[in-house]
Amino acid sequence: MKAIEIKHPLIEHKIGIMRDKKTGTKEFRELASEVAMFLCYEALRDAKTYDVQIETPLAKTTVQRVNEDDYAFVPILRAGMGMSDGITRIIPNAKIGVIGLYRNEETLEPIRYYYKVPKDIVNREVILLDPMLATGGSACDAIKMLKEDGVKKIKFLCLIAAPEGIKKLEETYPDVQIYCAKIDDHLNDIGYIVPGLGDAGDRIFGIK
């Protein structure tokens, strides 16, 4: 599957503000949540609906609903948590899992330190969340864990993706669809996306 880059003027506008190093923590966090909502709309375009009989103030009618129990959203700690608020605004009853990974600054390899997902995760479509798809190591490691748990359908949502990360993820897990707000130019020699956003986790949590 080819990575899907969501083209929309409002996304361009919001990502542009996030890129600015002068943008403060509060605004950066809010924008990350808002862009995640746009990505979720696109990722759930194929969501199945079921009929429900209701009454409007004027008449009885049939409406469509999405079964929220079909999905689980799994942010990769810590930066992925910055996307989960926007997701739960759209699907407020969605189950949330958590995968804790951090990057070894010398080898750039992901190291797992926490893994907690819903007990019935195998019966759900999993939407994996991480603002940055850089080397692809963390994403692939998280997907490996989910597949070992029996998850059959996984989608990956990120704000910014590097071509190198897309290539690694597509080659390793071609069945996982990637949705991103922007595909950037390249990784620098220390594994950061250029032009990128900087360290999204630090900016979301106000560490720097």
Q: Are 147 and 167 in contact (CB under 8 A)?
A: no
One of 70, 103, 141, 172 is an active-site residue; which one?
A: 103
**Catalytic residue selected from 61, 65, 107, 185:** 107
| Residue among 202, 15, 208, 203 nearest 102 (CA) | 202
Determine whether 202 is exposed, middle or buried from the number of CB atoms within 10 Å of its CB (0-12, 13-18, 19+).
middle
Known catalytic membership, residue 120: no
- Residues 77 and 114: beta-carbon distance below 8 Å: yes
Identify whether 202 is a catalytic site residue: yes
Q: Is 45 a catalytic residue?
A: no
Interstrand relation of 60-66 and 95-96 (parallel, antiparallel or unpaired): unpaired
Catalytic residue among 70, 85, 141, 199: 199
Whether 199 is catalytic: yes
- Of 70, 85, 141, 202, catalytic: 202
Using omega within 30 degrees of 0 as the cis cutoff, is the peptide bond preceding 163 cis?
no
Residues catalogued as catalytic: 103, 107, 199, 202
